[in-house]
Structure 1
Amino acid sequence: MTNQDEREERADRLRERFEDGPAADGSTTDESQSTPSETDMTEESGDPMSGGSEGAVKDRPSVLMYLPEEIRQELDIRFDELNAQHKRQYGEALEKNRDYYPAVVEAGLTDKDLKEILDL
């Protein structure tokens, strides 16, 4: 699939999501517009720190962070380094949203080693 095809597919998904919008009574019909509670996340994965790895990334709650440019660059460089190690060890790439970002946050919150969390 080309980059153009991927962009068009993403645009179509976004268009479908936002064309439906909320119902007239204020209720929503799209489950993605509601945020699961911490209890729901814990029940799904059994561990709130695991990030719910069984489900799709799009089913997880999202967090938008504004990072200084230097930190963002270092985050990207570190991802590239760890991704190369992971590819050599397991023959497959890490995914930033599914694997890397949750591991970075978990490492920061629990003082665990990032490589240990990613199984490197």
Structure 2
Amino acid sequence: MSDDIGDEEAGLKDRQNALSERFAKHRDADPTDTTDTADTSTASDAGGAGDASDTDDAGDTGGSGGSVRDRPQTAMYLPEELRERLLDVYEKLDARSKLDDDGEIEKHRHFYEGLVECALDSDDLEEYVREKRDGRR
């Protein structure tokens, strides 16, 4: 009976080692892999640290330098309705891009950065912000 347990433990260790090697090869083969499986923050949907449904960019060194995770964070406290609209727009753009075989739109690196740059470059931004402050929007 102890031989059976020893055989089971050896088999389990072999499977664990094989799995570890497979993941290590995958990581080494694609250093730009942006899949995020460890992050569970829900505040990120509004621009926070991360989100289980978005991509991480952990290995991506393009764009404005290094990993998205290494950048300063800016929290946005949005009303639920605005947050839902934001996520809906992202999901639609991402889905359309994938259906058109244009690849994934990464939430933080592409969508949020593009959204903020578009707003900052807008000639109407100052007027929009003042109207928001004054309750006219």
Q: TM-score range by the shorter chain?
A: 0.3 to 0.5
TM-score (ref. length: structure 2): 0.42
Q: Which has the higher helix share?
A: 1
TM-score (ref. length: structure 1): 0.47
Q: Which has the higher contact order (CA 8 A, sep 6+)?
A: 2
